[in-house]
Amino acid sequence: MHKIELSKRMKMNADLIPEGCALADIGCDHGYVCIELARKNWCRKIIAMDVNKGPLAIAEKNICQAKLQDKIMCRISDGLQELEMGEVNTILVAGMGGMLISRILQAKPDVVAGLDTLVLQAQSDWRTLRETIWKLGFSIETECVCEEAGKYYLAIRAMRGKEDVPYTEEECTYGRLLPKQKNELYRQYLSQEFQKREKVIVSLQKHETEEAEKRRVELLSEQNAIRWILKQYYGG
């Protein structure tokens, strides 16, 4: 098997995995992140898990071709269901919506109670996910962003322990660490999110319903929060 070149998104996720951890990759797809970590001997244990047999079969094939079957276990699992408490201390859940990731975490409280680190890369619903992380007793240590083919991806690493200062509603939605870092990619991401909302607001003007007006007000509030972050941390 030729050397795998991780996408920017996958590399961002891999770079957040703590060295020496026991890792379960939930929704491992074709196993590329697990293979990269195993090649570097980064983790003392790796379990590649997926709910679908097809992708997991491809992951197993890729792992065998890389001659890493002694370093990576493959397991069919719906979320964390087939993990035992204490079997790993770190999980990676990437490429899913924030609401789905939240449900996965909440479905196995005994397993989550034995974790030290969560590495999460959600495609949406960050507010829900950040609230879930806080409720489960984790604090966000690192926030990252990358851009690939015109799309922006966010990822976080959360460690066991409560936040010293609770997140505000805006911080739950848009994060606390990236704005304070004045990360340029994050500024671009926020600008894109602002424009997305603007397009929806314009389209909603064609519908004179109570539901449309309620959604328009919500989007305007979100735009105000984005505008505040851009002004507060980026000067405009």
Q: Where are the domains of the chain?
A: 8-177, 184-234
User: Is the confidence at residue 236, as pLDDT, over 70?
Assistant: no
Q: Provide the pLDDT confidence category of residue 117 given band limits of 50, 70 and 90.
A: very high
Instruction: Give the Å distances, CA to CA, from 93 to 19, 104, 119, 219.
Output: 17, 9, 6, 28
Instruction: Give the Å distances, CA to CA, from 191 to 93, 101, 236.
Output: 26, 25, 11
Q: What pLDDT digit, counting tens, does each position of 165-198 carry? A: 888 888 888 989 998 998 999 999 999 999 999 9
pLDDT at residue 25, rounded to an integer:
98
Which CATH code is given to the segment(s) 8-177? 3.40.50.150
Q: What is the DSSP letter of 197?
A: H
pLDDT at residue 170, rounded to an integer:
85
pLDDT at residue 114, rounded to an integer:
96
8 A C-beta contact, residue 120 and residue 158: yes
